[in-house]
Amino acid sequence: MAGGGASRKISAASARSHTRNSKSKSKSSLFPKGILKKCLIVFFMGFLAWAYQATRPPPPKICGSPNGPPVTSPRIKLRDGRHLSYLEYGVPKETAKYKIIYVHGFDNCKHHNLFAFAASPALVEELSVYTVSFDRPGYGESDPDPNRTLKSLALDIEELADQLGLGSRFYVVGMSMGGNFVWPCLKYIPHRLAGVTLIAPVTNYWWPSFPANLSNEAYYYKQFKPDQWSLRVAHHIPWLTYWWNTQKWFPSSSVASQSLDMFSPPDMEVLSKFPGPTEAQKPRQQGEYESLHRDLMIGFGKWEFDPMKLENPFPNNEGSVHLWMGDDDRFVPVTLQRYIAQQLPWINYHELTRAGHMFAFAEGMTDAILKTLLNVRVASHRWLSLYSSCPTSLFYLSKTMFIGEKGSNRSEGVGVSDEEVSNMAKVIGCGAAKFPLKYLGVPVGGGDMEEKKMTWVRWKKCLANKKLGGLGIGSIYGLNIGLLFKWIWRFLCSSFDLWVRVIKNIYGVRGGIMEDSPYSSSQSTWGVILSSVKRLKMKGIDLLSLCTRKIGNGVSCRFWEDIWCGNQPLKLQFPHIYLLDNVRDCSIADRLSIQDWDSVLRPQPRAEADPCSG
C-alpha cells in the first residue's frame, strides 16, 4: 500500500456502537440528568401560584380611604369599628307612628328602597311612616365585614335602630336576597320586632327541613341553569366563589351578570314602566367579592339555624309576619315558599297569580304591602276581598280592602280607592266586581232599599212536615252533616275545578282529608268540615269509607296529583319518575291509552258504597 502510516480496520458492529454512544452523549448534553423532573415541578408550582392568585379576590376599595370611593351619605360607627351607611325616607322619625327598616336585595344598595320608589307619598304622609334603608356590609358605602354571618347582620340592624333612636320595636322589610337575610332577625332579635314582611325572599335549597324531592325539583327544574353551578360552588366550595364568578370558561351567575333572560313576562311589563335606579354602580363600588360573592356564600352556605324551626315571634298577636310571592317568579321557586308557609302557620302567606319577581313595584302593590304590614283597618259598610290564591275577580266596595290570608280564615283590611282597585285588578290579571251581586240568581251582599234582598226563613218552618208547609227535613243535624260532607264528595270528584285547586294549594293534595290531618282543628270553613267528618268517624260512622273513586274516562283525574292508584298520589310513590316528566300537569287520559276505562280502572265499590263520578 502506498503511504507512510499504518491503517486499522474497524468492524461494522463497532462502528454502530460508536455511533449510538455519540448520539447518547449528544442527547445528554441537551437534557442533563433530572432536568425534566425539575421542569415539571416548576410548572406545577407555577400552576399553583396562578390558581392561588386566580382564587384570591383583590382587596376591597374602602369608602373614605385614599384610593376608595367618597362617602356621600350619613353613616354610623358600629361596635366593631365598621361604618354602616343609611338613608332616611318619609316623615321625620321623631313624629312617625311607624318606623320601618328596609333590607335591600342582591346587587342593590340603600338607594333601592322599595317604599321610596313605589309607595304613594300621600299614603306615607297619611299613615305617618318613616323608613330607613342601609347598605349591607360591603355594599355601597358600608364597610365590608370579612367575618359576616347571619347573626352579625341581625345585630347590625339592631344597632342601627338603637343609634337612630327608633325605639324598642320596629318593622323590618326585606326583598329578594334582603328577604333571605330577614330570617336571622326572626331568630336573633324577635323581641325588637313590631312586624316583618318578606317579599319574594331568596330561599336556600339546602335548608335541612326541605324534603329532598321538593328542593331537588325546585333546584333542577325551576332554577336558571347557569345559576345552578354558581350556587353549588357557593355552598360546597365557597373559597372558589370569586374565581367561578370571574372566570370566562363556564357560564357564571346570570343574576350577577344582570341578564334579563330570567325575568318573566310580568316582570318585563313592570320593568318597562320602571325608570330604574339612578345609582346603578353604587352597590359594587367597593368590589364584587365583599358584596355579591359574600352574599352568595352566606345566603346559600350552611346556616347555623333552620328557619322552619323558628317560633312565632308574636304569640299574643302584637305583630304579624307576612310573606309575599308571585307564582311566575323565575328567580325564587314558589313551591318552596308554599312549603314554608305550610310549616310555619303563623306566617301570613300572600301569593299573586301571574306575578313575577318584581311584582312589588307594580302600581299600587307597594301601598297594599305597606298597609297589610301595618295592619291598617278602615271601618266601612262596603268592602273588597282579594283572595291570594288564583283570583278570578276582585270583589270590592269603596274605601276598604280585605286581603285573604292563605291557610287562614282571617283577612287584613286596608283602605283603598276605586282607582287603586282597578290598578290592582290589572296587576294580578283579573276583573273587578262590586257587591251586591247575584250568584246563581241569588242576591249576595245585600243591597239598597229599592233592590231585591235575600229572603230569610226560620229553621223551624223548614223542619216542619210538608203537610204543615215545611220542607220535611226532620233533623237539622243530619241535614247539616250531609251538606258538609257533600263538599268533601265534590272535592273528590272535581279535580280541575278552581275551588278544588285552591283547597289543594292550601291544605295539600289530599285537602287534609285524612285521619291525622292537622287541618281538622282549624277554624276555617274547610277545617270545620274536616273536623265534623272526623268527629263522626270517632263515633263509628265513617262517611269516607262509603265513597270510592271513579276514574271515568280519565279526563277529569290528574295523573300525578290525584289519588287514583294506591293510597298516595303517584308523584309521592314515584318521585324520581315524576321529576323526569316534562309535562306533569296532565290527566290520566293523557298518559294511558285504555279504551274501556270503567271496567279496567274503576275500583269495584261495596254494595252500600256510592261511587263518586269523575
User: Does residue 523 belong to any structural domain of this protein?
Assistant: yes
- The neighbouring-strand residues paired with 226 are none
User: Does residue 2 belong to any structural domain of this protein?
Assistant: no
User: Does residue 42 belong to any structural domain of this protein?
Assistant: no
Integer Cα distance of 348 and 264 in angstroms: 25
What is the average pLDDT across 396-417?
Answer: 46
Per-residue model confidence (pLDDT) at position 287: 84
- Tell me which amino acid residue 261 is: D
The answer, yes or no, to whether residue 437 has pLDDT greater than 90, is no
For residues 8 and 419, the model is more confident at 419
Element (H, E) at 199: strand 193-199
For residues 188 and 585, the model is more confident at 188
How far from chain centre, in Å, is Cα 237? Answer: 25
The answer, yes or no, to whether residue 242 has pLDDT greater than 50, is yes
* Weakest mean pLDDT among 37-41, 55-59, 174-178, 554-558: 37-41
Per-residue model confidence (pLDDT) at position 392: 38
Last residue in a domain, options 519, 547, 575? 547
C-alpha cell at 4: 507512510
Please tell me the number of Cα atoms within 13 Å of 466 on its side-chain side.
3
The answer, yes or no, to whether residue 85 has pLDDT greater than 70, is yes
As for how many domains the chain has, the answer is 4
Confidence tier at 546 by pLDDT (50, 70, 90)? low
Examine the domain organization and report whether 325 and 408 are in the same domain.
no
Examine the domain organization and report whether 384 and 499 are in the same domain.
no
Per-residue model confidence (pLDDT) at position 152: 93
Highest mean pLDDT among 138-152, 161-175, 272-286, 463-477: 161-175
What is the average pLDDT across 305-316?
Answer: 93
Distance (Å) of CA 151 to CA 86, 147, 154, 175, 199: 20, 11, 5, 18, 20
Examine the domain organization and report whether 415 and 526 are in the same domain.
no
Give residue for cell 290527566. 587
Give the CA-trace dihedral at 425, 352, 268, 200, to 10 degrees: 140
Query: At 164, which CATH number?
Result: 3.40.50.1820
Per-residue model confidence (pLDDT) at position 290: 84
User: Does residue 82 belong to any structural domain of this protein?
Assistant: yes
For residues 327 and 404, the model is more confident at 327
Among 384, 380, 382, which residue's Cα sits nearest to residue 411?
384
C-alpha cell at 578: 315524576
Last residue in a domain, options 488, 513, 547? 547
Integer Cα distance of 124 and 366 in angstroms: 11
Note the pLDDT tens digit of each residue in 128-147.
999 999 999 999 999 999 89
Among 221, 219, 201, 199, which residue's Cα sits nearest to residue 211?
219
Examine the domain organization and report whether 338 and 382 are in the same domain.
no
The answer, yes or no, to whether residue 535 has pLDDT greater than 90, is no
What is the average pLDDT across 180-198?
Answer: 95
Among 97, 83, 162, which residue's Cα sits nearest to residue 126?
97
* Weakest mean pLDDT among 170-179, 202-211, 265-274, 378-387: 378-387
Pairing mode, if any, of strands 437-439 and 442-444?
A: antiparallel
Examine the domain organization and report whether 404 and 533 are in the same domain.
no
Q: Coil, helix or strand for 558? A: strand
Angle at 294 between CA 292 and CA 296, to 5 degrees: 75
Tell me what percent of the residues of the chain surpass a pLDDT of 90: 24
Examine the domain organization and report whether 614 and 497 are in the same domain.
no
Tell me what percent of the residues of the chain surpass a pLDDT of 70: 65
295: phi then psi, degrees, rounded to nearest 5: -60, -45
Helix/strand/coil (H/E/C) assignment for every residue in 270-318 = HHHHCCCCCCCCCCCCCCCHHHHHHHHHHHCCCCCCCHHHCCCCCCCCC
Examine the domain organization and report whether 391 and 420 are in the same domain.
yes
Per-residue model confidence (pLDDT) at position 511: 79
How far from chain centre, in Å, is Cα 442? Answer: 39
Per-residue model confidence (pLDDT) at position 490: 82
User: Does residue 64 belong to any structural domain of this protein?
Assistant: no
For residues 203 and 565, the model is more confident at 203
User: pTM here?
Assistant: 0.57
Highest mean pLDDT among 343-347, 477-481, 485-489, 587-591: 343-347
Confidence tier at 2 by pLDDT (50, 70, 90)? very low
Per-residue model confidence (pLDDT) at position 153: 94
Examine the domain organization and report whether 436 and 581 are in the same domain.
no
User: Does residue 398 belong to any structural domain of this protein?
Assistant: yes
Confidence tier at 600 by pLDDT (50, 70, 90)? very low
What is the average pLDDT across 349-375?
Answer: 88
For residues 453 and 508, the model is more confident at 508
How far from chain centre, in Å, is Cα 478? Answer: 44
Among 325, 303, 331, which residue's Cα sits nearest to residue 226?
331
The answer, yes or no, to whether residue 370 has pLDDT greater than 90, is yes
Last residue in a domain, options 322, 342, 374? 374
Examine the domain organization and report whether 153 and 108 are in the same domain.
yes
Distance (Å) of CA 600 to CA 390, 562, 607, 612: 35, 18, 19, 16
Give the CA-trace dihedral at 494, 497, 499, 504, to 10 degrees: 70
Helices (H), 384-513: 418-428, 459-463, 476-493, 498-507
Burial 27-63 (b: 16+ CB within 10 A, else e): eeeeeeeeeeeeeeeeeeeeeeeeeeeebebeebebb
Helix/strand/coil (H/E/C) assignment for every residue in 47-89 = HHHHHHHHHCCCCCCCCCCCCCCCCCCCEEECCCCCEEEEEEE
The answer, yes or no, to whether residue 151 has pLDDT greater than 90, is yes
Per-residue model confidence (pLDDT) at position 94: 93
Element (H, E) at 528: helix 525-538
C-alpha cell at 554: 280519565
The answer, yes or no, to whether residue 337 has pLDDT greater than 70, is yes
Helix axes 476-493, 525-538, angle to 10 degrees: 110
For residues 178 and 247, the model is more confident at 178
The answer, yes or no, to whether residue 389 has pLDDT greater than 80, is no
Confidence tier at 121 by pLDDT (50, 70, 90)? very high
Query: Which sign does the torsion angle of CA 345, 348, 354, 357 carry?
Result: negative
243: phi then psi, degrees, rounded to nearest 5: -65, -45
Helix axes 365-374, 418-428, angle to 10 degrees: 110
Helix/strand/coil (H/E/C) assignment for every residue in 321-337 = EEEEEECCCCCCCHHHH
User: Does residue 361 belong to any structural domain of this protein?
Assistant: yes
Per-residue model confidence (pLDDT) at position 19: 55
Confidence tier at 4 by pLDDT (50, 70, 90)? very low
Examine the domain organization and report whether 438 and 499 are in the same domain.
no
Per-residue model confidence (pLDDT) at position 394: 43
Confidence tier at 61 by pLDDT (50, 70, 90)? confident
The answer, yes or no, to whether residue 382 has pLDDT greater than 60, is no
Q: Coil, helix or strand for 416? A: strand
User: Does residue 248 belong to any structural domain of this protein?
Assistant: yes
Give residue for cell 280564615. 409
Residue 200's region, left for phi above 0, alpha for psi from -120 to 50, else beta, is left
Domain that holds residue 602: 548-614
Per-residue model confidence (pLDDT) at position 613: 40
For residues 10 and 602, the model is more confident at 10
For residues 538 and 544, the model is more confident at 538
552: phi then psi, degrees, rounded to nearest 5: 65, -135
Examine the domain organization and report whether 518 and 592 are in the same domain.
no
Examine the domain organization and report whether 177 and 270 are in the same domain.
yes
The answer, yes or no, to whether residue 193 has pLDDT greater than 70, is yes
Confidence tier at 246 by pLDDT (50, 70, 90)? confident
